[in-house]
Amino acid sequence: MSTILAPSLTEYVKHEAGFLICRPIDKPKFSPDEHAEQVALVGWLRRNKFLHHAIPNSGATGKARITYMVSEGLVSGVPDLYVMEPPGSMPTAIEMKRASGTPSDIKPNQIKFMRALVNRGWFVIVAFGARAATDYLKYRGL
């Protein structure tokens, strides 16, 4: 993995699968859960009028519900959010993690799916916290 330090509070580390890991330089001892981090990021995306959508790929329980969702296209390892900016470019896929998390929190099925997106030319990041995600989007000039 190679490290890129941007003029922000976020460190960018390129994973061997080709996606970027965006994490706070000073990792907090405590941080909100992944849901709260994603809600904060979505609020920022909405305020800045970014075209985006979330993938509701968690929380399915019960065999019948899971079978139903798989029949509709549920796939394991899909990132949480997609940002379709700037117009005419490949979207950015974002897998959210809590700011106090570690790269070991990235599951093998997520790595596999994100590698497939990178191989198709997508921008893919794993953001450890909403701040890391917004720093990355600003770093890209969005």
Say whether domain 2-139 belongs to CATH 3.40.1350.10.
yes
pTM value is 0.88
- The dihedrals phi and psi of 126, each to the nearest 5 degrees, come to -110, 115
The dihedral over CA atoms of 131, 134, 138, 141, expressed in degrees to the nearest 10, equals: 160
Q: Which residue has the higher pLDDT, 54 or 30?
A: 54
The whole-number pLDDT of residue 11 equals 86
Token pair for residue 62?
Answer: 């019960």
Interval 39-91: pLDDT, tens: 999 999 999 999 999 987 766 678 888 888 889 888 889 999 999 987 778 88
Lowest mean pLDDT among 6-10, 17-21, 105-109, 123-127: 6-10
